[in-house]
Structure 1
Amino acid sequence: MSSGCCDKNSKKQKLNHHYQESLDVNGGSGSASTAPIGNSLIKITSPEMGFFCFDTLYSYLNSLAPPKNPNFTNEPFPLFVTWEIGKDKKLRGCIGTFNSISLHSGLREYAITSAIKDSRFRPISNDELNKLHVTVSILVHFEDGKDYCDWEIGIHGIRIEFYNERGMRRSATYLPKVPEEQGWDKIQTIDSLLRKGGFRGPVTAEIRRSLKLTRYQSETVSVSYQDYMNYLQTVQC
């Protein structure tokens, strides 16, 4: 991997030091969305979180020292890291946690875990880096649903808990953007989640009524590899 005046040695030094620089997150690269919480808005994410994920993955793939702690908040939140590839942003890995975890260690962990341990995909390789996009999702505003339909497409992510046909307790989740992107209605989303969670029997109305649903909202920030390169050039200058 190279970028302009950045060779491997200078990149290693930058990995260890550039997060000590101040960053104007309001004017940074990438795109962010803010989750509505009640009648107000919160703002947790920043493009720097995506840059940190790229730095962390690059360091891991090249056996370099991990980047130092960044400047953004280290408050604990549930989070997911999603890697996509190419112009069509094909999913390449997505793993996270519903447990609240400090953002510095959480993003450091899940930037790598989602890239190399998502069992649906082969591990991301170094030669794919320049085609990647990363999205950090901070999960907020968790509420128990009254039933499997008590959520809104495009607003809520959902997590379901259920017993499969063997009586084993299972769970599965979709982030808020998934049903809308797939063009699913609520029934299609629930049925897909049951399959994702390993339910192999017939999906009936009774099965849907028996599951437990938790809805939540998500604040996200997405950055591309090019955003990351532009940021590194800015820091170097």
Structure 2
Amino acid sequence: MTQKDILEEHCFYCFDVLLAHLENKMLPKATFDDSSYPLFVTWHSKWHGQRELRGCIGNFNPMHLRKGLQQYALTSALQDRRFTPIGLPEVPFLDCAVSLLTHFEKAADYLDWEIGIHGIWIEFSLRDDDDDDDAGNIKFTKAMTTATYLPEVMAEQGWTKEEAIDSLLRKGGYRRHITEAKRQSIVLTRYQSQKITRTYADYRTHYALDA
């Protein structure tokens, strides 16, 4: 993937999708190439003054861009369980980021990635080895779960690699004390992305809506 594969039109299309849904209007036709990528859509808002995350959801399976952006523009805006759904009055305060993911690689261990370059996707068990009884029988069903952070998250938060991993374990639902053995048990995949962000003001300027 090259830098030209990520376009500001991808962000503007997400605004089209969200506004068409909120205003119950017909969605304008997309004009960009419909190649397939794993992708994420992220919304931030300054509705309450400070810029705050309002939704971030995506898919690691390649999807055609038009269908993928349609789906995740709405899913991230309306169905991210961490936040209340975005409503029409908030739209002027939004910015939208689209991330196209590439270069997926299995890491040698949980530290085999670089802050500011890689996103990380981890798979781990919610149970620990000491959940077995004295006879070695598992006391309850082994539950595997996953969690991810996009490449920009770790740098924005100022985390070390260990802090990022521990935060991901919590994000994925692990509530016990985090040991080095637990970190070592993680299966980590690193990846890269091309990202572009545009505001609602950019959207209106692009389509000359204020002319």
Partner in structure 2 of residue 204 of structure 1: 179
Aligned length: 196
**Shift of the alpha carbon at 1:42?**
4.2
Matched residue of 2:37: which SS? strand
Paired position in structure 2 for 1:18: none
Cα RMSD (Å): 1.5
Question: Is the aligned partner of 1:82 residue 2:57?
Answer: no
C-alpha distance in 2, partners of 1:223/1:59? 18
Q: Which amino acid aligns with 2:149?
A: Y
CA separation in 2, counterparts of 1:151 and 1:117?
30
Q: In structure 1, what is the equivalent of residue 116 of structure 2? A: 154
Counterpart of 2:98 (choices 124, 136, 140) is 136
What letter matches 1:199 in structure 2?
Y
Amino acid of the residue matched to residue 196 of structure 2?
V
Name 2:130's counterpart in structure 1. none
Of 147, 152, 155, the match for 1:177: 152
**What residue ranges of structure 1 are gaps of 5+ in the alignment?**
1-36
Per the normalisation by structure 1, the TM-score is 0.80
The offset of 1:76, in angstroms, is 0.7
Provide structure 2 residue ranges, at least 5 long, that are not aligned to the other structure. 128-139
Q: Does 1:97 align with 2:59?
A: yes
Aligned to 1:114: 76
Superposed CA offset, 1:43-87 (max 9, x none): 31111111100011000011112222x221211100000000016
Q: Judging changes above 3 Å, is the alpha-carbon distance between structure 1 residues 127 and 179 closer, same or farther for their aligned structure 2 residues?
A: same
Asked if the contact 1:160–1:211 (Cα under 8 Å) also holds between the matched residues in 2, the reply is: yes
Counterpart amino acid of residue 107 in structure 1: L
Secondary structure of the 1:188 match is helix
Residue 194 (structure 1) aligned with residue 169 (structure 2)? yes
SS of equivalent to 1:146: coil
Q: 2:203: which partner in 1?
A: 228
TM-score (norm 2): 0.89
Work out whether residues 93 and 114 of structure 1, in 8 Å CA contact, stay in contact via their aligned partners in 2.
yes
Q: Match of 1:199, SS?
A: coil
Q: Distance in 2 between matches of 1:184 and 1:42?
A: 27
1:197 and 1:98 map into 2 onto residues whose CA distance is 16
8 Å contact kept, 1:132–1:225: yes
Mapped partners of 1:44, 1:66: distance in 2: 22
- Secondary structure of 2:207's match? helix
Where 2:32 maps in the other structure, the secondary structure is coil
Shift of 1:201: 1.1
Displaced runs of 4 or more, over 6 A: none
Query: 2:11 aligned with 1:50, yes or no?
Result: yes
- CA offset digits 1:13-42 (Å, max 9, x no partner): xxxxxxxxxxxxxxxxxxxxxxxx7xxx54
Hey, what's the Cα distance between the residues in 2 that align with 1:170 and 1:54? 32
CA contact (8 A) 1:133 1:222 kept: yes
Task: Indicate the SS of the match to 2:54.
Answer: strand
